[in-house]
Structure 1
Amino acid sequence: MSDICVSIVSHGQGKIANPLLNDLERRCSGHNVVLTKNIPEEFPIRDRQYPLLQIENPSPKGFAANHNQAFRHCDSGLFCVANPDIRLQADPFGHLKAAMSDPRVGVVAPLILNPEGTVEDSARYFPTPFGLLRKALGRSDGRFPIDLNRPSAVDWTAGMFMLFRSEAFAEVGGFDEGFFLYYEDVDICARLWKAGWKVILQPTTSVVHDARRTSHTNLKYMRWHVSSMMRYFAKHLGRRPNISKITGRLNLDL
């Protein structure tokens, strides 16, 4: 049995997913991959040095449903969710697993860099209407402060690359399939904290992501974004976990 099951979903993105499959082969070990083709596509897959399961959906699913489906094929202690446009410059899993030495860490994520090497805002405070107003007025970007030299407990971390303890993922029921494309990551982090699991950013390792903020330019994606935001507030507003009481915020001892 592999240590880690990696779930990757392609939405007709074979050209950008294949380099990630190559990175996993060249730079990492001790894992298997579940590759979901969410829409029909010509995506030739050569033999890999790791176990690779391919799923072809008869009809498209959302982010949550695709990764929950992959998890049902996972028999590993750790479950990694990775966007197809992630690139690995080195094996991130050793550092991420080190953060799991605390048995109450439910999910850990690396630093996310853009192709120019700038740190992206992947660790953020839980959203609130007041926080969104401050962001709209340019008074805050919602970014969670972290220590670049040691693991930090954060409110939530973005879903382009997350390493879950499989036990924790199963305990909270995986991603909420009522969301579609947005806020699945915010919601599952809130539920992990509420269930007594920690959400950690591990800054001693990083992956590269070419972020494409489609919701800012496409009306359909913007509608999905707003709908997911309203669902999140209906579930969690006024009931957000106070992680400072659980961990002392940035004084986390791992």
Structure 2
Amino acid sequence: MSTNSFVTNKLSVELSIVIVGMNHLSKLKNLFNSLLGEGKTTRSHEIILVDNCSTDGSVEYVAANYPGVIIYQNDTVRGFAANNNQGVSVSSGQYLFICNPDMVILPGAIDEMIKFHESNPGVGIVCPKLLNSDLTYQYSVRRFHNLKVLALRTLSWANDEWTNKYIRKYLMLEFDKSKTQLIDWALGAAMVLRRSVYQQLGGFDEKFFLYVEDVDLCLRCWTAGFTVVYCSQAVCIHDHQRASTKGINVLLWHHAKSMAYFFYKHKLLWRPARGFEELRQPEDNVFHRG
């Protein structure tokens, strides 16, 4: 997809909310209840749902109950990256909120992320604090992978409770969750970007069918001279299923394939990725709250 397709529309709203769904009817009900309820943004916005060939009545439900939502229906199943790029290509917002269907948006979360962008022009991606469904903290913020971490994650079936020191560093278990700060990357379940940054990065890499496209986008954001930030004041609930860690299945295959492509693409077989600790500038450590 050409990067020009991300800017063909006149910027008519402040924010475009892009959601990709595939048989997520029950999740979409919770998401829309929050997006248009207590979690509703005060900014002018549009909501775009890219439906990936659902058969559970998702499209019919959203069309009937939320007629203002822009719905794009796929004819064939496409990957997460391609679907988000499709959603952005028909959007018109200055800012983009990439949002998974299994999210619940808590009050003020979206506006906090946009305000942070407005006060800190060098920021490329802002990610919220994520909570599990039981409201415990979710390990959504990470350092970039290296081969040692990849091997250990494979051996442990991505068990976040492993006490290995390399895994603890990778998961950033020691960082202050209450503090807004620079990070290498965060789960792509929820992130706000300027359209101009998304355009400059070329959007998501569509060679990733499923998984790791969020890691790749954040790494490219850093190498392009922008920062990636964890915004502790913005809080969302993520009903994360982590299906690729539950035994050998097709999702595990997609995860392994994407990880191999990521290491090959960024030439990380013989060196680690450079993250916020290496690439940050002195001014990056001063955040303005607006």
Q: Same fold by TM (over 0.5)?
A: yes
Q: What TM-score do you get using the length of structure 2 for normalisation?
A: 0.81
Q: How far apart, CA to CA, are the structure 1 residues paired with 2:51 and 2:29? A: 12
Q: Which residue of 1 aligns with 2:7?
A: none
Say how many residue pairs are matched.
253
Query: What does residue 118 of structure 1 align with?
Result: 136
Instruction: Report whether the alignment pairs 1:104 with 2:135.
Output: no
Q: What's the counterpart of residue 214 of structure 1?
A: 243
State yes or no: 1:35 paired with 2:53: no
Structure-1 residue corresponding to 2:159 = none
Deviation, 1:95, is 1.4
Say if 1:215 and 1:149 are closer, same or farther in 2 by CA, change over 3 A: closer
2:36 counterpart SS class: helix
Letter in 2 for 1:225: H
Residue type of the partner of 1:241?
Answer: R
Kindly state the Cα deviation for residue 211 of structure 1 after the two structures are TM-superposed. Answer: 1.1
* Partner amino acid, structure 2, of 1:143: L
Counting aligned pairs with the same residue, the percent is 27
Aligned counterpart in structure 1 of residue 223 of structure 2, from 194, 198, 218: 194
State the partner residue of 2:4: none
CA contact (8 A) 2:128 2:190 kept: yes
Structure 1 letter corresponding to 2:48:
V
Report the counterpart of residue 143 of structure 1 in structure 2: 171
What CA distance in whole angstroms lies between the structure 2 residues aligned with 1:61 and 1:36? 10
In structure 2, give the amino acid aligned to 1:70. Answer: G
Correspondences of 1:1-254 after superposition (within 5 Å): 1-27=12-38, 28-29=40-41, 30-41=44-55, 42-43=57-58, 44-45=61-62, 46-48=64-66, 51-100=68-117, 101-135=119-153, 136=155, 138=162, 139=164, 140-141=167-168, 142-144=170-172, 145-217=174-246, 218-236=248-266, 237=268, 238=271, 240-247=273-280, 252-254=285-287
The 2-side partners of 1:103 and 1:78 are apart by: 13
Cα distance in 2 for partners of 1:239, 1:197 equals: 19
Where structure 2 has 5 or more consecutive residues not aligned to the other structure, the ranges are 1-11, 157-161
Q: Deviations over 1:70-123 (max 9, x none)?
A: 010121111111111101231311211222111111110110100111111111
Structure 1 CA distance, aligned partners of 2:175 and 2:286?
Answer: 14
Question: Over aligned residue pairs, what C-alpha RMSD do you find?
Answer: 2.1
**Aligned 8 A contact 1:9 1:37 in 2:** yes
Larger CA deviation: 5-14 vs 21-30: 21-30
How far does residue 131 in structure 1 lie from its aligned partner after superposition?
1.9
Q: Which runs of 5+ in 1 are unaligned?
A: none
* CA distance 1:161–1:8, change in 2 (3 Å): same
In structure 1, C-alpha distance between the alignment counterparts of 2:103 and 2:275, rounded to whole Å: 31
Does the Cα contact within 8 Å between 2:144 and 2:275 map onto a contact in 1?
no
What letter corresponds to residue 171 of structure 2 in structure 1?
R
Q: Report the CA distance shift for 1:147/1:66 in structure 2 as closer, same or farther (over 3 A).
A: same
Deviations 1:45-94 (CA, angstroms, capped at 9, x unpaired): 23548x42101100011000000000101211111111111012313112
Query: Does the CA-based 8 Å contact 1:99-1:151 persist in structure 2?
Result: no
Any conservation in 1 of the 2:184–2:219 contact (CA below 8 Å)?
yes
CA distance in 2, matches of 1:93, 1:213: 24
TM-score by length of structure 1 reads: 0.92
